[in-house]
Structure 1
Amino acid sequence: MLETPETDIAVVGAGIVGVACALQLARQGKRVLLIDRQAPGHGASWGNAGHLATEQVFPIADLSILKRLPAMLLDPMGPLRLDWKYLPRALPWFTRLLLNLRPAPFQRSVAGLRALNEASLGAWQRLLDSIGRADLLHEDGSLLVFERAESRPALQALRARLQQQAVPVDYWSAQAVHAAAPQLSPSLQGGLFFPRTGHFVDPYRVVGALFDAAQAAGVRFARRQVSGGRLHAGRVTLHSDQGELQARQVLIACGAHSARLVHSLTGKRVPLDTERGYHLMLPNEQQRLPFAVTSLERKFIMTPMAGGLRLAGTVEFAGLDAAPSMQRAWQLHRLSKGLFRRELDAEGATPWMGFRPSLPDSLPVIDRVADGKVLLAFGHQHLGLTQAAVTAQWVGQLIEGLRIPEAYRLDRF
C-alpha cells in the first residue's frame, strides 16, 4: 500500500469539474487528494468549445433524432454520427434517450438544465473573482446565425421556446449581425443573440488557474490510473496502477470514465455514454470574431480564444475505445466556408478529439451515496465547462449534509 498522508476526500478526475470541486472542498477545510491518470485539464476540458452555454436549456436531442438516424449511420462526416459498429452497445442508451423525450421526463430535463444554467454565470463570476482571474472569462454574449430565409420560422420557434424558459435572447437583424461582427458573410439573414453568455479565453488555462489555487489551498495531486475500489467502515480504498490509496470519502468526477468506478464502489450501473467531440484550432485567426458564433444550419460553433479561433461542435457516438476520426475535425473548416467575407486561414491548424460524458436524460449526476462515503459529479454532457462552478458549489453543500434537487440523484436510474 502506498504511504499517503491522511486524506478526507479523494477526488478522482482532474478536469474542470474535478478541479473546481477540489478547490471548493479544500476551502471548506477538507484535506483533498486530486487523482488523474493525466495532468490536470488534459481530457475533455482541454479541448472544449470554450462557450459558457447558459442558453442551452434543452436536452441533447429531440424527437427529430428518429428522422436523422439513417444519416447518423451512413454519413461519417455528419454533425451527429453513430458508428454502425457501436450500434449494438449504443442501443440501450438510445432507447433510454427516446423514453426521456416523452413530455413529462423531457420537461424534468429542461427544468434541471435550466436550474444549473441559470446559476452558472454567477457561480463562475464568483469563482474567478476569488482567485483573481476574472480576465479568463469574457462576458460578451454569443450569437446563433442563420443563412437561409426558410430557416427563419425555425429560428423564431426556437426564440419563443427559449423565452418560455426565461432565457435572455434578442433577435438580431442582418444589419445588427454585420455591425457587431463585420467579418461575417453579408449573406447571413440574422440571428439570435444571447446576452447572458460568454466565452473563456482558454479552457485549459482556466483549469490551470483553478489548480494553482487548489494547490495553494492545500490540495495534493497524484498522477494515478484508478481502476476500482472498495468501501469500509469509515473509509474508502481506491485501487490504482501504483498501489492503493485511502481516504475517508471519494468524489467521482472523471467524466466519461466514471461509470466503471461507480459500479466498483456502489454496485450501481449508470447508463453513461460519451459524445465524442472534435475541434479544429486555427492559430492565425485571433481577431476574426468578437464572441462565439454558432451556425444554425451547419451546426457548429466558432469561439475566439487567446490561441486563435476554435471550431467545434460535431457529435459522434462510437464509445471510448475507437480511434478518433480526425477528418471530422477538418470537416469543421470546410463547414466554415461561406460564413465569412474571407475564408478562414487553416495553416498550422491542429485537430483534437475528446469525450463528453452523457446520460440519456441530459442531466448530470450530483449526489451523495453509500452512507456519504461516495460523492458523484459527472455526466454534464457538453455543458461541463458551463456547469463546473455551480457543480462545485453543490458538492460543497453535499459534503455538509445538505440536499440538492432530486433531478440529479443517482437513483433516478
Structure 2
Amino acid sequence: MGTGKHLHMPNNAHDIAVVGAGIIGVSCALRLARQGLRVVVIDQQQPGHGASFGNAGHLATEQVFPIADVSILKRLPAMLMDPMGPLRLDWKYLPRALPWFTRLLLNLRSEPFGKTVAGLRALNESSLAAWQRLLADISRPDLLKVDGSLLVFEKPESRQAIAALQTRLHQQQVPVDFWQAAAVHETAPQLSERIQGGLFFPRTGHFIDPYRVVTELVEAAKASGVSFVKQQVQGGYVQEHGVSLITGSGGFKARRVLIACGAHSAKLIAALTGKKVPLDTERGYHLMLPHEHNRLPFPVTSLERKFIMTPMSEGLRLAGTVEFAGLQKPPSMERAWQLHRLSQGLFRKDLSADNATPWMGFRPSLPDSLPVIDQVCDGKVLLAFGHQHLGLTQAAVTAEMIVQMASPRSQPDDLPDHKPYTLDRF
C-alpha cells in the first residue's frame, strides 16, 4: 500500500485533502473551497465529534496568558496527589510526560514566555472579527453571542490577585473592567451573595451550541463542493507532484494536505515531514446540565474554583478541568461530576444535575502554548494544530491564515504574522 498503487483516487483529484473534521479542519475546508479549490475532509469520526463537540463554548479572546506559569512548580505535588484537582497529572503517565513538562517549564522563562503571550494575543485580537466574518458568510451570526464574560471571586483576599491580573491584562491591551459585587448581582442575579466582584471582558462571546457551529459549517462546505470521507488516515508520504495519504480503504492523492487533526496530528506529521513534534494532550471534561436555562447571561468563571459555566441552548455547560494522562487512558468521568460539586455555593439555589451528561475530549497542546499554523515541504503540507484550549476561539482566524498561505487572494489585511507559529521552532 505504501507504493501508492492501490490508491483509489485519481492523481490530483483534490487540490487539498484536510485531515481532521473538527472546528479548525472544517473552518479551513470551507474557506479553501470558497477560493475555488477542490477540497476533501477525511476523519475517522463524524465532523465535530472530537474536542470540538464538548468545548466550553467560550470565545476566549481575553486568555492571552498560557494556563501554566511559574506557580506550577509549587502545585506539582498537588497535581500528582489530588485526582480531582483542576490541573491533574496522572502518576502512570509522568515518565512519558516528563520531557514535555520539562520543555513547558523552560518556556516559562521571561523571554520565551513573552513570545508566547505575544503570539496568543495576536491570534486572539483577530479572533472575534474573523468569527463574525465566517458566521456572516454562512448566514448564521446568531450562533455567536458577543455579550462578554465574567471572572468572579468570592474571597476578600482574592481581590489583590484580581487587581494584579487586571493590571497585567491592561498591559496587554485586553479590554477589561472591574465590577463591584453590586454590578455582578445586577447583571447575574442568580449568583450567590458570596461573590465579591470580578473582571468583565466586553470583547468576548460564547457559542450557544458549539457542535451546531460545526454542523452548520459542514453544510456550507458541502454546498461549496467539499466532500467528507469517514476513514482513518494511517500514514502518507510527499511526492514530486503532491501528497499520498494511506487509509484503511486505500488512500487519497492531493496536490496538498492540511493536517488539522488536533491531538492526533503528531504521527502523520512525522510520516510526511520527518519532524517529531512535542505534542501532548490536555484531557478536558465537561458536564452538561439540561435543566439549567437562564441561570447566567454569559459565561462566568470562578477564580478560586477554576472552572467556567457557559449558557447554551441545551442548558448550562460546566467545563475547565485539565488532566495530563495521554490519549489511551479511559476517561475518568468522576472529574466531570466534580464540576457540579464545584458549582455548589456559587448560586443562590444550587444547580440541578438531573439527567446531566459528562464528556471528555483531547485538547492538543504544545509546550510553548502556541499552535502550529504553517506550510512546509514546498507548500505541499499545511499545518493547523496544537491550539490547546483555544481551538474554538482561534479556528476562524486560523482558517484565514491557512487560506492566505494556500491561495493568497483577497484575505483580510490585519491577519497575524505566521512566524510565531511555524513548525521549525521545534
TM-score by length of 2: 0.96
Tell me the residue number matched to 1:241.
248
State the 1:166 CA deviation.
Answer: 0.3
Deviations 1:132-164 (A, max 9, x none): 000000000000000000000000000000000
1:410 maps to what in 2?
Answer: 423
Which residue of structure 2 aligns with residue 170 of structure 1?
177
TM-superposed CA distance for 1:3, in Å, is: 3.0
Q: Secondary structure at the match of 1:371?
A: coil
Structure 1 residue 45 corresponds to structure 2 residue 52: yes
Aligned with residue 159 of structure 1, among 134, 159, 166: 166
**Partner residue, 1:397:** 404
Contact 1:398 1:404 in 2 (8 A): no
Shift of 1:404: 3.7
Give the Cα separation in 1 of the matches to 2:329 and 2:277. Answer: 21
Instruction: Please tell me whether residue 285 in structure 1 is matched to residue 292 in structure 2.
Output: yes
Distance 1:223 1:245 in 2: 12
Q: Distance in 2 between matches of 1:277 and 1:112?
A: 23
Aligned equivalent of 1:26, options 26, 33, 41: 33
Match of 1:4 in 2: 9
* Kept after mapping to 1: 8 A contact 2:21/2:261: yes
Match of 1:35 in 2: 42
| Aligned-partner SS, 1:8 | strand
Matched, 1:184 2:197: no
Q: Secondary structure of 1:372's partner? A: coil
Alignment match, 1:109:
116
**Separation (CA, whole Å) in 2 of partners of 1:4 and 1:21:** 22
Structure 1 portions without partners, runs of 5+: none
Q: Which runs of 4+ in 1 moved over 2 A?
A: 1-5, 400-405
How big is the shift at 1:234? 1.1
The residue that corresponds to 2:236 in the other structure is 229
**How big is each residue's C-alpha offset from its partner over 1:241-279, in whole Å with a ceiling of 9 and x where there is no partner?**
111111110000000000110001000000000000000
1:2: how far off?
Answer: 4.5
After superposition, the C-alpha distances for 1:267-326 in whole angstroms (9 at most, x for unaligned) are 000000000000000000011111000000000000000000000000000000001000
**8 Å CA contact 2:373, 2:418 repeated in 1:** no
| d(CA) in 1 for partners of 2:19, 2:307 | 31
Task: Give me the whole-angstrom Cα distance separating, in 2, the residues matched to 1:354 and 1:130.
Answer: 29
- Identity among equivalent pairs (%): 73
Corresponding residue SS for 1:315: strand
User: Which residue does the alignment assign to 2:413?
Assistant: none
State the distance in 1 between where 2:358 and 2:85 align. Answer: 17
Amino acid across the alignment from 2:398: T
Which of these residues, 352, 357, 370, is aligned with residue 345 of structure 1?
Answer: 352
Q: Name the SS for the 1:59 alignment partner.
A: coil
Secondary structure of the 1:248 match is strand
Q: Which runs of 5+ in 2 are unaligned?
A: 1-5, 410-415
What's the C-alpha RMSD, in Å, of the aligned pairs? 1.0
Q: How many residues matched?
A: 413
Q: Deviations over 1:175-203 (max 9, x none)?
A: 00000000000111000000000100000
* Amino acid corresponding to residue 407 of structure 2 in structure 1: E
* Alpha-carbon offset, residue 401 of structure 1: 6.0
Q: Distance in 2 between matches of 1:285 and 1:60?
A: 28
